[in-house]
Amino acid sequence: MVKRACKDCKRILKGTTCPVCKTSNITTSFQGVIVIFDVESDVAKKLGITAPGKYAIKV
Ligand SMILES: [Zn+2]
């Protein structure tokens, strides 16, 4: 299965639209995956992540 990532919020997606942004501004070429459990962590803040989940590091 081809993995996709939202270009706006960097969330890893299963479908072709982002459930958070409601956008189809997605890409199949992204680098690295990070799993965020704690949105208060330094990593989450650095990436601007506001909800737990899987995210691409670079899109
Ligand atoms: Zn998004």
- Is residue 17's pLDDT more than 90? yes
CA dihedral 37, 6, 58, 40 (to 10 degrees): -30
- Please state, in angstroms and rounded to a whole number, the distance separating the CA atoms of residues 59 and 14: 16
Tell me, what's the pLDDT at 2? 82
Q: Report CA(12)–ligand 1 centroid distance (Å).
A: 9
Q: Report CA(40)–ligand 1 centroid distance (Å).
A: 19
**Count of domains forming the chain:** 1
Distance, CA of 43 to chain centre: 13
Contact 44/38 with Cβ under 8 angstroms? yes
Q: Report CA(6)–ligand 1 centroid distance (Å).
A: 5
Tell me, what's the pLDDT at 47? 84
Quote the domain boundaries for residue 21: 4-58
Q: What is the CATH number of the domain that holds 17?
A: 2.20.28.90
Q: Report CA(1)–ligand 1 centroid distance (Å).
A: 19
Across the beta sheet with 26-27, the strand order is: 12-13, 4-6, 26-27
Percent of the chain with pLDDT over 70: 98
State whether residue 57 is helix, strand or coil.
strand
Percent of the chain with pLDDT over 90: 76
